[in-house]
Structure 1
């Protein structure tokens, strides 16, 4: 293994944002995840403040395209230089670092995910360990006890503390490793030599394996102190519980403890007939009326209004939320300026203004949040427009697939006979793909390649002409003569009508893939697995094989977040046009 120089001085850090959005959806549709309030202060303020205390002098925060820089950071934190870098397109975690190579001055630097709550992280221990091991990358890890209901990452570590491998898995797969990445890395600038300057590249799934193949040490350090990687609603709630229950008074600056474990900000008005059971934070300008009850742990944001007889139990209210007379809210997150009408019962919900049908796709599968609700409707969106959409979508799938199978039966028989005449091998190509929620199913296509195509792929891998997880060659020698025609006309896809009829696929949705093909981007993977895969979709009608991987991510994410019956119809009609033109098919 290669060991690098032990001289180290860390003064710069990169905070990667935008990769964690789906994990905290649908809240992220209305607030940047790194601006999520923790005890009514943005998550990023805690992270930058911790880095400042540990001697970091410059921080660069990476942003997704079209993300506006919040005014909050223009004058809130002094004594540390904060820069922002806006990505023009998805580049992956490693690809984004390559874009910042000049800024990092060829010195070791920290990399932190935007959903990382630094708390009182022991950064000195990480730096010293990195120096002692001489590794090119040190990965911060923590040991997780017990079974996590929605495992995101596992990491295998050998007896010497070196990283063996990462497993970026979906909840439908369980590797049962107790070690999880914490969301922080310390890197030497040598890594830049191994990052693709143009295409998408991920740290865990692409960069680290490439470095290990070259013989470099990748070490794992068990991070110390209070911190959390906020990957889901459970993590978000638990950070608040930890801060409130365990007396982290330094995080409650400018708040007065007006009763046992009840902290209040400025201009808070509390009726003498209200009942408060801590731990509770009441931020500036809150009003608590007669007979209201708040049972902690609870955080009530700035200018929230808890009306007469209302009951709040273990909730987080963002700024400006209003709970009207005799309403009950339990174990829920109430979004900014959201309004709960009189006599409402809100339990295990996320309540937000202006919800869309697609937001119900993003209901967290962890913690005890079971639905999202529009504050104007005061009922779970998943029980109304979202369910109506899914019923109509399924009716359309069954109708069109059944009609298509009947009408195309002569064509099925003709293609089947032609395949048998053209080349030896089975009639259908069958492969296990991932359905909704990661549930595997067997997908059918007409065979378009020679019988040993998968064996030949490893030999042809260096000739791959597309980035991302797929393997494509313009003149692939494995494709048969008939197979080329079937691919150009997309006739090889029509057996998937049986998958649609069986409910494993939909006519419209993200392209069905195997789990390994989705490992380069967890956010993209977890987004697309929220819905059924489809025969056609936005990616297929926007260039298919000609579209780069970063556009594929955009199209899939857009579809899941904006799903509607009208959008499905538009995609179906445009598919006909694309197929007739043979656009991007090979």
Structure 2
């Protein structure tokens, strides 16, 4: 019987970031492993399973790099098609965008960090036997580390969903997904044409809820996911030490010309060299190491267990142990590096958290004084932010206390129910807290929401419809003036929130994008966020992610003050629009979701 699934979709996205370190400006599938791009290993395995065409989805800035890679790619008799994305739509939305290119009844989907040496035909047979609409390649790891995703299955082995849990969430599963899926083409009909849609968090939950068969296939052969720097180094060591053979990979001999090395040097296998590598006098290279094409290794250099990307220059007398040296990076003479990453262009501090990236001392342009200065600057900003929050919230609660009493009376007179609405939200570094607001909806708002869920006009975790029937008359006024948020000054005063920061959400609302979630909880949640100021112009989930991450990267005293000022102006405009609509008896203005 001929193999099914002749098409595969590679979800590659943008430049490579591993462990919060920007390793390369190219997608992860272009990372060299023993001087071969990761994509070549992936293509060899898929081609052996009968794949004839691979659709690669990348962001716009990676198109040129992909074209260059294709010029040097061996012929595996597989057609490559590159599709660029201008607006992030999630993994499911990306599949919908390339649906017209997918042929056959079944197709593969795989991630850019998948490093797999296995025969995929048994997974095809499993998929057929189970009559599944979706099969997930997974490995059994007992209780995987918290940072990895889990495949949640019911008692009959049906996949319910795939989550990446935060350590504060006490949920366990023995299966971890590898980022390889086999789908029936008909699942594309379940993905909306517009908006953000996630395969793991949304599609598998939808399949389970509708009774469609989605199964987990256990992989027992060699695999790795390039999800950390340690895994990336380990994958290179495995290839260089021949712990895995990749039988479908086209063989090639080393391109290193021994004449380019000084005879006084010493080389200890296993080593791999690209073309045009120059090795200086008395240099010592110890395997497992891989050196990319065009590298210049100076005299008396020691390279021990390192990955050196193409075009790098290592100065005389430098000593490198277990390091990753980026493309065109320059190591100064006499530098001593161990367990480090050095790239040509890198910000050696994670501005969102204040933590240093894994780049050690003795690196040109980044002294210990510079690093200390960054940390002091970050701590100073956080101290200023907390002091300002306390002072501002005390002042606001004092001045607004009479108004709060009037609002409470109005809410009780307007509709039955409590004055305050409170909900568990995720706070700084995953600590839950109760967030308070003035109630703006009817008492049974959640019950009504389930009945009108199909009317939702936005994507992602948000629920938003114009003229929401759950909002009360007083609630409309409170939302238009942002006065419903006033009780959160108590949250700010006791340190659960800040004046400015990403809006606090529940764990469930953040499940669609775990990386976004893990980044946004590294800063205190705020009463006012950057996204809220722009959401009236663009309420797409992708815009929400973009603005939250932008704030995390660029957070500063000046940015906080700017957001506060814009928020005051926007609230004043909301009041004027409301008054105008009342005086002219026009429909109330379009509300902005908070």
Q: TM-score, normalised by structure 2?
A: 0.84
Counterpart selection for 1:189 from 165, 185, 189: 185
Following superposition, the deviation at residue 509 of structure 1 comes to: 3.1
Kept in 2: contact 1:545–1:584 (CA 8 A): no
Q: How does 1:80-229 map to 2 (within 5 A)?
A: 80-118=78-116, 120-144=117-141, 147-148=144-145, 150-157=146-153, 161-229=157-225
Counterpart selection for 1:321 from 295, 312, 315: 312
Q: Unmatched 5+ residue regions in structure 2? A: 575-589
Partner of 1:394: 382
**Cα distance in 2 for residues equivalent to 1:364 and 1:387:** 8
**Cα distance in 2 for residues equivalent to 1:380 and 1:47:** 41
**Cα distance in 1 for residues equivalent to 2:398 and 2:354:** 43
Cα deviations by residue, 1:293-328 (Å, 9 ceiling, x for unpaired): 444433332333343444444332222223334444
Number of corresponding residues? 569
Partner of 1:344: 335
Q: How does 1:3-18 map to 2 (within 5 A)?
A: 9-18=4-13
- Which range moves more in the overlay, 79-88 or 328-337? 328-337
Kept in 2: contact 1:268–1:286 (CA 8 A): no
3-state SS, counterpart of residue 227 of structure 1: strand
Following superposition, the deviation at residue 388 of structure 1 comes to: 4.3
Following superposition, the deviation at residue 137 of structure 1 comes to: 1.0
Following superposition, the deviation at residue 209 of structure 1 comes to: 1.8
Q: In the superposition, relative to structure 1, how do residues 115 and 373 fare at CA in structure 2: closer, same or farther (>3 Å)? A: farther
Cα deviations by residue, 1:60-105 (Å, 9 ceiling, x for unpaired): 1112244424232333243221111122311221122122222223
**Cα distance in 1 for residues equivalent to 2:537 and 2:171:** 32
Following superposition, the deviation at residue 564 of structure 1 comes to: 5.2
Counterpart selection for 2:293 from 302, 310, 316: 302
Asked if residue 522 in structure 1 is aligned to residue 517 in structure 2, the reply is: no
Kept in 1: contact 2:29–2:39 (CA 8 A): yes
Kept in 1: contact 2:13–2:58 (CA 8 A): yes
3-state SS, counterpart of residue 101 of structure 2: coil
Partner of 2:46: 51
Structure with greater contact order relative to length (CA < 8 Å, sep ≥ 6) = 1
**Cα distance in 1 for residues equivalent to 2:402 and 2:305:** 64
3-state SS, counterpart of residue 99 of structure 2: coil
3-state SS, counterpart of residue 532 of structure 1: coil
Q: In the superposition, relative to structure 1, how do residues 356 and 540 fare at CA in structure 2: closer, same or farther (>3 Å)? A: farther
3-state SS, counterpart of residue 68 of structure 1: helix
Kept in 2: contact 1:107–1:188 (CA 8 A): yes
**Cα distance in 2 for residues equivalent to 1:337 and 1:86:** 26
Q: In the superposition, relative to structure 1, how do residues 268 and 486 fare at CA in structure 2: closer, same or farther (>3 Å)? A: farther
Cα deviations by residue, 1:136-194 (Å, 9 ceiling, x for unpaired): 1111111125652x423111345654324322323443423121111111111111221
Query: Which protein has the larger Cα radius of gyration, Structure 1 or Structure 2?
Result: 2
Kept in 1: contact 2:501–2:526 (CA 8 A): yes
**Cα distance in 2 for residues equivalent to 1:233 and 1:538:** 32
**Cα distance in 2 for residues equivalent to 1:146 and 1:187:** 27
Cα deviations by residue, 1:326-359 (Å, 9 ceiling, x for unpaired): 4443443222222233443434432223334774
3-state SS, counterpart of residue 423 of structure 1: helix
Partner of 2:457: 465
3-state SS, counterpart of residue 47 of structure 1: helix
